[in-house]
Amino acid sequence: MSLSATEIDELRTAKRLLETPGLAARISNYVGTPIEKGFALLPKRWNALVNTATRKSIAAALDAALWTMDKRDAPAPSNWWHKLAVGATGAAGGVFGLPALALELPVSTAIMLRSIADIARSQGENLGTPEARLECVQVLALGGGSKNDDGSETGYFATRTALAKAVSDALKHLARSSLAHQGAPAMVRLIALIAARFSVVVSEKAAAQAVPVLGAFGGAAINTVFIDHFQDMAKGHFIVRRLERAHGAAEVERTYAGLPPAR
């Protein structure tokens, strides 16, 4: 069944959100931070450090942010509360610089996942199901491409396709167990795939914070842009999911592809 005019407008909004500028551009526009210079200040072993930190943060946040989430319907997500909370962790991290990332990132990720889940719930997702919970975690993969991606793997639907097998395996695991058991191979693989993409924007965030000009204010501002970026990804993603439940995935993807590029 074709989408109505109102639903096409909603899908157009989702496409605009999902194709907005990346985190690095947003940070530069918001706080004027020269991220390119920041990358030069990062430690040589930064890639390995950030990959480890992101994997641990996502695994820890699964329980802290989603499995304890109130599953009742809510009229609207509490975006500003979550932005304030993440801004506070960024301010604390900004005081101590890059060494604080390993402590700050798990907290920020957990708050961000709660915000994503809140948005999902407002779009009709049933957070009592493993599928909805894993869809929340997948949003972290929408903010940046893996270093192994080619040009055909960086779009919204391409990213979902790249994660589909890992998500399916994780759902099969969760169907057999009432707990996440993050050490299970299916969960480890999914977390690793998401972390590979999430680490790209974490590196951009850290590069901005590495420039010693803004201090605690800079940490708070950067974290606010960080969560705002993923709130946009979440809203766009769960609008698409809601329309897919009504019209089927193939019809929504076809209509999405036919919309003009976001400006």
Q: Where are the beta strands (DSSP E) in 139-253?
A: none
Tell me the pLDDT band of 95, cut-offs 50, 70 and 90: very low
Give the domain extent around 43: 36-145+153-235
One-letter amino acid identity for 1? M
Does 217 fall in a domain?
yes
Does 132 fall in a domain?
yes
Could you tell me which of 126, 128, 192 has the C-alpha nearest to residue 163? 192
Output DSSP code: residue 22.
P
The model's pLDDT over 11-56, given as tens digits with 9 standing for 90+, comes to 999 999 998 888 888 888 776 766 777 787 777 777 777 888 888 8
Location of structure tokens 């590495």 = 210
Q: In this model, does residue 112 exceed pLDDT 80?
A: yes
Does 211 fall in a domain?
yes
Number of compact structural domains in the chain: 1
Does 246 fall in a domain?
no
Q: What percent of the chain has pLDDT over 90?
A: 30
Spatial neighbors of 105 by CB under 8 A, at least 6 apart, are 53, 54, 57, 202
Three-class DSSP category at 235: helix
Assigned token pair, 225:
């842009």
Residue 25's pLDDT is what?
85
Does 112 fall in a domain?
yes
Q: In this model, does residue 79 exceed pLDDT 90?
A: no
Q: In this model, does residue 216 exceed pLDDT 60?
A: no
Does 120 fall in a domain?
yes
Does 3 fall in a domain?
no
The model's pLDDT over 143-184, given as tens digits with 9 standing for 90+, comes to 766 555 554 456 899 999 999 999 999 888 877 775 555 567
Q: What pTM did the predictor assign?
A: 0.84
The model's pLDDT over 118-142, given as tens digits with 9 standing for 90+, comes to 899 999 999 888 888 889 999 999 9
b/e map 224-251, b = 16+ CB within 10 Å: bbbbbbbbbbbbbbbbbbbbeeebeeee
* Cα 232 off chain centre by: 9
Does 14 fall in a domain?
no
Spatial neighbors of 68 by CB under 8 A, at least 6 apart, are none
